[in-house]
Structure 1
Amino acid sequence: MTRKQKRLSVIAGGLAFMAAATRLTFYALGQKASYFYMPADLTLASTQPGQRIRLGGLVEKGTVTRGEGATVAFSVTDTQKSVKVTYVGILPDLFREEQGVITEGTFGPDSVFVADSVLAKHDERYMPKDVADGLKAKGVWQESKGK
C-alpha cells in the first residue's frame, strides 16, 4: 500500500466511524423525544399506543382522588376537553387543583393517561411555556397583571 492509499483509508475509516456515531446519536434522541399536547389536541390519530407524550393543562377541579399507596388519579383539562391521568409516586408540593401541570407518559389500553412524571407550576406567576401558549391560543389563560 502506498502512503497516499494508507492516508485515504484512515480518512475513510474516520468518516465511517463519525457517520455511525451520528446515526446512533440521532436514533437514541428520536427514541427519547416526547411531543407536547393539550387535551383538545389529542386524537386517536395523533398518538399511537405506547408513544411517549407530554400532556399539559390545568388540573380539573374536583377530580383529584388518592388511591392505595402513592397512586393518584386526576384529570387534566384545557376547559374544552379533559383527559384522565393516573400517577404512582409523590406529587410535587405545589400540585393542586386549577393549577398548571405537565405530565409525561403514555396512554394505557383503557384510554387513561399513565404518567411517570408530573411537573407542577413553580410560583404564583409561573406557567410552563407550552401550557401557557396552548391556553392563550384557546383564549382561556391570561397573564396576571402585577409586579
Structure 2
Amino acid sequence: MNLSIHHTFLPHHDPEASLAFYRDVLGFEVRNDVGYENMRWITVGPAGSGTTIVLTPPAVDPGITDEERATVLEMMAKGTYATIVLQSPDVDETFHQIQATGADVIQEPTDQPYGVRDCAFRDPAGNHVRINQA
C-alpha cells in the first residue's frame, strides 16, 4: 500500500478567528471556503503539501444528539476535544513567531523525556496545536 494523509478535521466556533490563526499566524494556504446557512467549512494546508485541515462547524452530524453536541462544545472550551501535531525544523523560532502574534501558549519549547522537543498552543476554538522539532 502507498497511503498518505489527505485531510483531517478540526472544529471551530468562529470561522474568521480560525481562518486568521491558520492563514495569518501559521501561514497556511486557504484551499477552500464553503458556507451553508450559518455554517462554514474552511480548508487550509501548508504550502506545497497535499495534506489539508478542514476547519468545520462542531458537531454538525445530523445523527448527533443535543447532549452529545453539548459535550463536544464543552470539551472544545476546555481544549480537550481535538489535537493536531505539526512539525518545524526550528521549534524555538517557530514558537517565538507564533507567540508574538498573541496566540494562546500552552507550553514553551521543551525537551520531552520521550525524545522530542516541542511546544504547544491553542487555536481560537481551543484545539490543541503541538509543534515538534523535525
- TM-score band, normalised by the shorter chain? under 0.3
Tell me the TM-score normalized by structure 1.
0.24
Larger RCO: Structure 1 or Structure 2 (Cα < 8 Å, ≥ 6 residues apart)? 2
Which has more strand, going by share of residues? 2
Tell me the TM-score normalized by structure 2.
0.25
Larger radius of gyration: 1
